Chains A and B, each alone.
Chain A
């Protein structure tokens, strides 16, 4: 149905009296649009340049993950989680592994916990780096920041490839540990990448932090108030940019996050600029966590020897595992009926729930602002549509 038929907004001028009055115009942005970050459609009703109604249309990438998982065994679901949020596959693996571990009461060995933190934080680095690259691309920078971001991303993908054999779909975690141990020299190589990363951040900040166009386009645009952020259930950088101090690494201290000292950056205004800066600051904190983890990583086994990976049948019950994924709270809710397949497999996707405030952010703004507001939410359609 057209958004125009559902729209009952007063126009800026009355068309019956004013001959120059504008009419509402419906624009369908997407699903093929260069800056919708995938196949996402927004039906927008416009009064001149201004947005008076915005209706997101989902489902162009609905790949029925949840239904497929019900016919897979617990191990077989792991590769599917890679493809949910395809930019950061390792954190998806982690959330799913955590859910199964909660369900079956599995303990994870020390070294595996450290490897999880290292790979998880590297994932956060490459996700945030590419996100700010894409955001700049949406703003019209025609390539340069995105190239810088992808240059760094490739270095991290090389590490993933050396560790897991795949650049993007890592399939690295198992319930009870990790799939493979770090190969010889991997930790040294990782140390080099981590040590060089702040240089990239400095370079990026000096390039863009006080850029006049960036500030004009982002400051005060797409504001989300603290109350709205809490009421809409926003998590991750979106919530923290609005000043909500909620980071599952601090709140839940899942894994071994209570051992590291790091700060949670918080925004003040909740606009696009804050969300951009939060990601830059979070990358610096991730580098700190990585340095501590690299210093403390012990030797030892990487898999819990008591866990049976194949033919795994947990007792009947329910479990929810959640982690602080780069985009927010990623949770897996599993119901087991005692057989080898999950009875119900439910994903709590952070980017879908962060996207629910899209209309509130866009109302009254220009069309060009929609693009950067959407870019600052950091969505991945594989996760939104599942």
Chain B
């Protein structure tokens, strides 16, 4: 529908919408996060739900202790190799549609503990992540920003067509490989369907082909 006509109609008190908009609006306005804190970031996540920052303004204050009732997982903190199978299993137990916010440096890449032997170098090696928020820990405002970004992402999803999201496409997986403790490391060390090794363009200083830096 023409946007101009729509806004004109709404000024007259007539609301015109499509099923897709209504569906997306309903979903984005009542995200139920999983009550699941891993480390330092969890304290900031709790602070976000408290009186000053009040996540309830965005319809996401109902933290559910059971993954069966949740549709958003906030990976708030360091994922260690001992914890990674449990995180993936919890994600698998959540019903579709489900989303993931990777909160803080540790959940994104391992953060300050990346050099250690027991820290997973990013939860996106095993489960698909929708929004990343950097910070150590991110401020509550940053978590609210992540919520708004996620809401925007949900709002732009199509119900039909080739670009429809995973939960509407029966061919796409909704469960992912749960890593197991191998002899030296987790096995598999990453889920290749979810995570690709980032391509790094290495150019030697002074030999940049384009001539400019």
* Chain A residues packing against B (C-beta within 8 Å): 31-34, 38-39, 59-64, 67-68, 71, 79-80, 83, 86-87, 146-147, 150-151, 153-154, 167-169, 381-382
Binds A, one of B111-119, B125-133, B162-170, B175-183: B111-119
Q: Is B52 an interface residue (CB 8 A)?
A: yes
Measured CB to CB, the nearest residue on chain A to B113 is A63
Task: Identify B35's interface contact among A34, A80, A381, CB under 8 A.
Answer: A34
Measured CB to CB, the nearest residue on chain B to A154 is B52
Q: Is B90 an interface residue (CB 8 A)?
A: yes
Name the distance in Å between B37's Cβ and chain A's nearest Cβ: 6
Give residues of chain B (37-67) contacting chain A, Cβ–Cβ below 8 Å. 37-40, 42-44, 46-47, 50-52, 65, 67
Q: Is B29 an interface residue (CB 8 A)?
A: no
Assess the B112–A168 pair: CB atoms within 8 A.
no
Assess the B50–A60 pair: CB atoms within 8 A.
no
Instruction: Report if A59-B82 is in contact (Cβ < 8 Å); known contacts: A64-B119, A150-B51, A151-B52.
Output: yes
Q: Which residues of B contact A62 (CB under 8 A)?
A: 80, 82, 118
Assess the A61–B46 pair: CB atoms within 8 A.
no
Which 8 A-B residue pairings sit nearest by Cβ, starting from the closest? A86-B40, A150-B50, A64-B116, A34-B65, A63-B113, A60-B83, A34-B35, A147-B51
Assess the A168–B43 pair: CB atoms within 8 A.
yes
A71 to B116, CA, bound (A): 10
Q: Is B109 an interface residue (CB 8 A)?
A: no
21 example contacts (A-B, Cβ-Cβ < 8 A) are as follows A32-B36, A32-B67, A32-B90, A59-B82, A60-B80, A60-B83, A60-B86, A61-B77, A63-B39, A63-B80, A64-B113, A64-B118, A67-B117, A80-B112, A83-B39, A83-B112, A87-B43, A151-B50, A154-B50, A168-B40, A169-B136
State the main secondary structure of chain A at its contact with B.
Answer: loop
Name the distance in Å between A155's Cβ and chain B's nearest Cβ: 10
Q: Which residues of A contact B116 (CB under 8 A)?
A: 63-64, 67-68
Instruction: Report if A63-B118 is in contact (Cβ < 8 Å); known contacts: A39-B83, A80-B112, A381-B39.
Output: yes
Q: How large is the interface on B (under 10, 10 to 19, 20 to 34, 35 or more residues)?
A: 20 to 34
Name the distance in Å between A347's Cβ and chain B's nearest Cβ: 15
Assess the A382–B39 pair: CB atoms within 8 A.
yes
A167 to B43, CA, bound (A): 11
Instruction: Report if A63-B78 is in contact (Cβ < 8 Å); known contacts: A151-B52, A168-B43.
Output: yes
A339 to B61, CA, bound (A): 51
Task: Identify A86's interface contact among B43, B65, B67, B119, CB under 8 A.
Answer: B43
Measured CB to CB, the nearest residue on chain A to B42 is A38
Instruction: Report if A32-B86 is in contact (Cβ < 8 Å); known contacts: A79-B112, A150-B47, A168-B137.
Output: yes
Q: Which residues of B contact A80 (CB under 8 A)?
A: 112
Assess the A38–B38 pair: CB atoms within 8 A.
yes
Measured CB to CB, the nearest residue on chain B to A33 is B65
Assess the B47–A86 pair: CB atoms within 8 A.
no
Q: Which residues of B contact A150 (CB under 8 A)?
A: 46-47, 50-52
A153 to B140, CA, bound (A): 14
